[in-house]
Amino acid sequence: MVDGHLVEDGTGGRSVIVTGAGSGIGRATALAFAALGDRVLVADLNEAGAQAVVKEIERAGGTAVAVTGDLSEQAVVDRVAETATERLGGVDVLVNNAGIMDRMSALVDVSDSEWERVIRVNLTAPFLLTRAVLPHMLAVGKGVIVNTASEAGLRGSAAGAAYTASKHGIVGLTKNLAVMYRGQGIRANAIAPGGTATAIAVDVEAGAHGPAAIQPHFVNMGRLAQPEEQAAAIVFLASDAAGNINGVVLPVDDGWSAV
């Protein structure tokens, strides 16, 4: 224990924040860290989902706590950071996974509200939470950040204008973090999921230009991943085995990015 922070020893026992952990990739990631013996803060907008994951971890003998709220709000971000340090002993790993889809809208069809909400949740929220926890990591000279980007962060043909811009932003944020803080013991990487079997629904406007223009590109998408496959990549990037991997965006997409 250093300054209230449990130092990672590579065998579990870390304090891990996972956002969007009430379902899908986030849930699978929270369970995977807990299975290693890590203490997990389950952050999600959906209180019922977050509490269900906490109970699932506790039934398996693990330690978890839930914080619910909109992570694009500074007050919620502050509560997440404070809870992790006060109840879990620090912040060793931050997984910025929470996100929302857009309507696959082409730029001319994107409303102000769609743009602002998608950017706020997908890009500003990870920025706010990373800024909040970095001082805790810097204080002990060690920490790992893993962001969930997207295939849409690698190409222009996997989503609408707002989502694509937000995920390209996450890629840039990840690489900037890696360069800025590598000399202070911080690593930052991202996964870029392809199609994954989650409950996220896309509200597509019938006959809109965006979905029609994007659809032909999905023929090369490959098979749908399971959330656990994305979680495995996140856990690896957060592990000591990935100790010299920094600033990487790892596609987990059945080769879609290689097509």
The set of catalytic residues is: 163
Neighbouring C-beta atoms of residue 196, cutoff 10 Å:
20
Identity of residue 191: I
> Phi-psi category of 102—alpha, beta or left, where left has phi over 0 and alpha has psi -120 to 50?
beta
CA distance 40 to 42: 6
> Which DSSP string corresponds to 240-254?
GGGTT--S-EEEEST
Task: Evaluate whether 105 touches 208 at the Cβ level (below 8 Å).
Answer: yes
DSSP H helices, the chain, are 24-35, 47-59, 74-87, 112-119, 125-140, 161-181, 209-214, 227-237
Nearest 5°: CA angle at 24, between 12 and 198? 150
> Phi-psi category of 3—alpha, beta or left, where left has phi over 0 and alpha has psi -120 to 50?
left
Contacts of residue 117, Cβ cutoff 8 Å, sequence gap at least 6:
100
CA distance 151 to 158: 7
